[in-house]
A and B are shown apart, each in its own frame.
Chain A
Amino acid sequence: MKWKQLVQVFILTNPNLKSNVAEALFYFIDYLLYLPHELTKQLTKDLSINIEKEAKHMLYSEKLKEAPTFAEYFKTVREEGFEKGIEKGLEMGIEKGIEKGKMEERRNLAAELLREGFSVEKVAKMVKLSLDEVKEIGKNL
Chain B
Amino acid sequence: MREEGIEKGKMEEKRNLAAELLREGFSVEKVAKIVKLSLDEVEAIGASIHLNQPES
A105 adjacent to B9 (CB under 8 Å): yes
Collect the chain B residues with CB atoms within 8 Å of residue A97's CB: 1-9
| Contact with A94, one of B4, B21, B35 (Cβ below 8 angstroms) | B4
| Contact with B9, one of A93, A98, A126 (Cβ below 8 angstroms) | A98
Majority SS of interface residues in chain A? Answer: helix
Residues facing A in B1-56 (CB within 8 A) are 1-14, 17, 20-21, 34-35
Does A102 touch B at the CB level, under 8 Å? yes
Collect the chain A residues with CB atoms within 8 Å of residue B13's CB: 101-102, 105-106, 109, 127
Q: Which residues of B contact A (CB under 8 A)?
A: 1-14, 17, 20-21, 34-35
Collect the chain B residues with CB atoms within 8 Å of residue A38's CB: none
**Shortest distance from the beta carbon of B45 to any chain A beta carbon, whole Å:** 14
Collect the chain B residues with CB atoms within 8 Å of residue A96's CB: 2, 5
A106 to B34, CA, bound (A): 12
Encode contact with B along A70-110: 1 for CB under 8 Å, 0 otherwise.
00000000000000000000100111111111111110010
Collect the chain A residues with CB atoms within 8 Å of residue B12's CB: 98, 101-102
Chain B CB within 10 Å — which of A94, A95, A96 has the most?
Answer: A94
A101 adjacent to B9 (CB under 8 Å): yes
**Shortest distance from the beta carbon of B49 to any chain A beta carbon, whole Å:** 15
Collect the chain B residues with CB atoms within 8 Å of residue A105's CB: 9-10, 13-14
Collect the chain A residues with CB atoms within 8 Å of residue B17's CB: 109, 126-127
**Shortest distance from the beta carbon of A119 to any chain B beta carbon, whole Å:** 13
Encode contact with B along A31-74: 1 for CB under 8 Å, 0 otherwise.
00000000000000000000000000000000000000000000
Does A112 touch B at the CB level, under 8 Å? yes
| Contact with B34, one of A95, A102, A113 (Cβ below 8 angstroms) | A113
